[in-house]
Amino acid sequence: MAASQSLQGKTAAVTGAASGIGFASAKAMADAGARVVLIDRDAAALDKACAAIGANGATALPLVLDLLDPAQCNALLERSLALLGTLDIFHANAGLYVGGDLLDTTPEAIDRMLNLNVNVVMKNVHNVLPHMVGRGTGDILVTSSLAAHYPTPWEPVYASSKWAIDCFVQTVRRQMFKHGIRVGSVSPGPVITGLLADWPADKLAEAKASGSLVEAAEVAEVLLFMLTRPRGMTIRDVVLMPTNFDL
């Protein structure tokens, strides 16, 4: 089956979809035939993203939600179903970055990042699972990070959030496979997105100089590969990074 038809007739929702990995993921799924709801709190950026995807005839629908607002977070499935009717694929991608020395971080920044990177992901997955269990099928993807697999010394708060979510993915997957639901994560190295603006300046300069950055579209290609495997196969976690990142 051609890649352009691989998700024909499927429905999907992606959080943090107005830019970066979320946008690339939504575009890849829409281009492959899925109807996709793009979820973000930035209405203007969301409209622009949907217009860019829809320019080629793909179906991209905006859904403005502030996932840090508990009521809006809890409405994710209900409002997605109002647009799609069913939900086959959910990509929990929204996240924040806090790097640098822990001594320079504020409690407020820690709370906000952990709420979005951990709590919101868990709540979103909890929200969509009953619908998928009821249908006996579904795919859940989570954007993790290379930082989930290595104690990155320049980002202790961010890395800890990804270690937590990696454990969540691996344990939920073991609970859900009997319901026909696949759960997996993608763990990229540094990706060229807005989050890099918060990287320590020396680390960002070093990564750029050595060619140690990944394009968001490259991550989306991996996500599409995970989704298009036969139902009896689960790609549980893919770690991807520029070859030069190991230098």
Residues β-bridged to residue 184: 141
Cβ atoms 166, 125 nearer than 8 A: no
CB 175 within 8 Å of CB 133: no
Q: Which of 97, 158, 163, 168 is catalytic?
A: 158
144 Cβ contact list (under 8 Å, min separation 6)? 162, 165, 166, 169, 185, 186, 187, 237
How many angstroms separate the CA atoms of 235 and 149, rounded?
17
Query: CA 152, CA 157: separation in Å to the nearest integer?
Result: 10
Active site residue 158: yes
DSSP for 76-99, written as a single string? HHHHHHHHHSS-SEEEE-------
Report the catalytic residues. Answer: 158
